[in-house]
Amino acid sequence: MKKVLKPQPMLFPMPAVLVGTYCDDGNPDAMTAAWAAACCHKPFCLGVAIRQNRLTYANLKAKGAFTINVPSTSQAEAVDYLGIVSGRDRPDKIAVAGMEVDKGEVVDAPIISSCPVNVECELIGELEIGSHTWFVGEVKHIRADEELVEHDGTLNISDLDPLVYATSVAQYWSLGKPVGKAFNMGKKIG
């Protein structure tokens, strides 16, 4: 038997990332986003859903660029702070959260260099859905902490220890154990 739940944007798990943008005056802003995902292979794109009242929304519209910064579980408190406080009320919110910021190398957006992975994106599309707008950014540059990058260029996921968000219970989680090799373990069937 299944139980019917009320409709909601439910998906498990979601990432908990920081979206970096520049304000008009050049001040960097960062906000927490759980509604973010990879959405295209050619070109490589990431998407993020931003509510229209966020400072990030205005910044993204004006600058046409953003960064996605992947925090680790040890940074959960700072991530939560950046998701509670707006840069409109605290222009120094990144510093207050104890996070370091740097200029993007390729796009007009700041990276949160304290986060182990920083992805720079150029805005190439947007879809006004309702309360939120889905912004699509083409991936232009990626930096990751040296010690996390394996010889073959992949990331060491257990050392990265990315922060995960569980909607409906509004909790931060960490990843569990690997289950199997993708594009491979399914071959056992049929």
Ligand X SMILES: Cc1cc2nc3c(=O)[nH]c(=O)nc-3n(C[C@H](O)[C@H](O)[C@H](O)COP(=O)(O)O)c2cc1C
Contact residues: ligand X, CB under 6 A: 16, 29, 31-35, 49-51, 54-56, 80, 83-88, 165
DSSP state of 162: B
Minimal distance in Å, beta carbon 49 to ligand X?
A: 5
Nearer to ligand X, 134 or 149 (CB): 134
Amino acid at 101: V
Contact of 68 with 48, CB cutoff 8 Å: yes
Minimal distance in Å, beta carbon 158 to ligand X?
A: 23
Nearer to ligand X, 88 or 156 (CB): 88
CA distances from 45 to 66, 107, 177 (A): 12, 14, 27
Minimal distance in Å, beta carbon 167 to ligand X?
A: 9
How far apart, in whole angstroms, are the C-alpha atoms of residue 28 and residue 21? 6
Nearer to ligand X, 29 or 120 (CB): 29
DSSP-based three-state secondary structure for 108: coil
Nearer to ligand X, 22 or 165 (CB): 165
Q: What are the structure tokens assigned to 73, written together? A: 């579980």
Minimal distance in Å, beta carbon 184 to ligand X?
A: 32
Contact of 110 with 20, CB cutoff 8 Å: yes
